[in-house]
Structure 1
Amino acid sequence: MRKRHGRYGFDAPWPLVGLFLGAILLLALAVISFVVDVAAAGVAFTFGGLYTLASAFSYLYTTRRGKFAVWDEELRRLRGDERVLDLGCGRGAVLLTAARRLTDGGRATGVDLWLSKDQTGNTEAAARANAEAEGVADRVDLVTGDLRDLPFRDDGFDVVLSGLALHNIPSAEGRAQAVREAYRVLRPGGLMLLADFQHAPDYEQTLRDLGVIDVRRRDAGWRYWYGGPWFATTIVEARKPTG
């Protein structure tokens, strides 16, 4: 995987901070337990602390490196001339991974409401600065918009992507509407890749309700764990029917 030049922040930083603080607390309790000669408690706190620390490092690896490796592999299939849309692009982790592969006239468009709840420093300016740093600003467009009401024409994109954005929509109907909008702007025969650690079966069902047959869910693997397999990321992959 090539070196990244942009600044992509941390995904949902407060849970990450909580994991590290929890590990420190448990290990401190382990030390206290051994000092006061309560060995059983000390052993339990030690295992709990090490387990929580491992979860914290898993989370840190995913947000800083693992997710980039997964998307780099997913997007190797691009030819280079596609029109790509990234839903909830944030600071551009997925968007710019795609843009680097668009070397034959393709364009990458990112759409977001630029909220900072689930990513540090999530602003349009940060995404634009990252596009400049990565050397792909000439093929990247940034749009402020709601995923439930995309400001794009029907069948306008060859590829529609999303990396851990749809779950931020609070209602089930809102998430289904976002998937329907993604489907609307995807051209017939186009590729959709929706990565999330929640609601993936619902995304698949919404696509099936739209008549998509070529759709499947798959585990993105350990590099996309946010702390462990209980927060594994699932990828919903689909092709829009051509007829």
Structure 2
Amino acid sequence: MNPRANYGVDAPGVLAGLALGGIAELALAAVLFGIGLPVPAVVLLVGGIVLAAGAALFAHTTSRGKSRVWDAELDRLGLKGDEQVLDLGCGRGLVLLKAAARLSGAGRATGVDLWVTKDQSGNSQDATLANARAEGVADRVDLVTGDMRDLPFDDAAFDLVVSSLAVHNIVQEEGRAEAVREAFRVLKPGGLLRIADFRNARRYAEVLTECGAADVEVYDLGWRFWYGGPHARTSMVACRRPGDPDEGRSAEPAA
């Protein structure tokens, strides 16, 4: 029996903090009720419930919610199967491999990452390769260790560029802007860009507009993509590179 793909947990330290904080506040609330201090107990009870609910939402998003959202987003694109796809900050490959599963023939999906484990548990190139084998798409997947601010690809190399909760990990604002410019640079004429992130989405859209992108829009991805609550909701930034989508369609991405 083939092993199942394992995509890990996003920001495991944050999830653990929410869960442990909720448990601690609920336990302390019980103690305070027991010794006859109902007012602070109620405050802690409410806080504990909020943290526990946040942990549950976070766990749902990282384990199931974001997967369903990305399935819907990729289905909406109507890929033909021969596209060249790039995933920026691919991590253990959830979005990358979903895209690869929609490809055939000359289609290939390339993932770029620095493989940092604080952003995703067990993040490594080997883990992504194992997931690609488990999903049966290893023959159409390429993995590259690289910085999204300086992509090792030619201009106009990809039909579709995607990224899920990765660009915000760049601390400097100008660095994030440079990553967005690079994503647009490697798009073919008529190519599509989809960046899902829970911070800075409006700024990404501004940068893309400055680059000359068409059909730039930002839209909310709903509660399935909340990391603990509506304060950490995820938005999608979408655009298209102007031009004929068949221009240079046969070009292969440079490794």
2:171 aligned residue = 170
User: How much does 1:143 deviate?
Assistant: 0.7
2:12 corresponds to 1:19: no
CA–CA distance in structure 2, aligned partners of residues 11 and 101 of structure 1: 24
2:223 aligned residue = 222
CA–CA distance in structure 2, aligned partners of residues 174 and 213 of structure 1: 22
2:186 aligned residue = 185
2:107 corresponds to 1:87: no
Unaligned runs of 5+ in 1: none
User: How much does 1:188 deviate?
Assistant: 0.9
1:7 aligned residue = 6
CA–CA distance in structure 2, aligned partners of residues 44 and 182 of structure 1: 46
> Residue type of the partner of 1:13?
P
Q: TM-score, normalised by structure 2?
A: 0.91
1:133 aligned residue = 134
Q: Deviations over 1:134-168 (max 9, x none)?
A: 10000100011110111111111000000011011
For the residue of structure 1 that corresponds to 2:143, the secondary structure is strand
Larger CA deviation: 37-46 vs 80-89: 37-46
2:54 aligned residue = 55
User: How much does 1:42 deviate?
Assistant: 1.9
For the residue of structure 1 that corresponds to 2:199, the secondary structure is coil
CA–CA distance in structure 2, aligned partners of residues 111 and 163 of structure 1: 12
Q: Deviations over 1:155-195 (max 9, x none)?
A: 11000000011011111111111111111100011110001
CA–CA distance in structure 2, aligned partners of residues 213 and 72 of structure 1: 24
CA–CA distance in structure 2, aligned partners of residues 171 and 42 of structure 1: 41
2:137 corresponds to 1:156: no
CA–CA distance in structure 1, aligned partners of residues 175 and 37 of structure 2: 52
2:212 corresponds to 1:195: no
For the residue of structure 2 that corresponds to 1:214, the secondary structure is strand
CA–CA distance in structure 2, aligned partners of residues 103 and 63 of structure 1: 28
Tell me the matched-pair count.
Answer: 240
2:210 corresponds to 1:209: yes
CA–CA distance in structure 2, aligned partners of residues 87 and 146 of structure 1: 9
Unaligned runs of 5+ in 2: 245-255
For the residue of structure 2 that corresponds to 1:235, the secondary structure is strand
User: How much does 1:213 deviate?
Assistant: 3.2
Determine if contact 2:13/2:118 at 8 Å carries over to the other structure.
Answer: no
CA–CA distance in structure 1, aligned partners of residues 179 and 212 of structure 2: 16
1:110 aligned residue = 111
Q: Deviations over 1:97-134 (max 9, x none)?
A: 11111134311000111111201111111100100011
CA–CA distance in structure 1, aligned partners of residues 149 and 41 of structure 2: 51
CA–CA distance in structure 2, aligned partners of residues 114 and 67 of structure 1: 20
CA–CA distance in structure 2, aligned partners of residues 187 and 51 of structure 1: 45
For the residue of structure 2 that corresponds to 1:216, the secondary structure is strand
Moved over 6 A (4+): none
2:101 aligned residue = 100
> Residue type of the partner of 1:56?
A
CA–CA distance in structure 2, aligned partners of residues 42 and 210 of structure 1: 54
CA–CA distance in structure 1, aligned partners of residues 232 and 117 of structure 2: 21
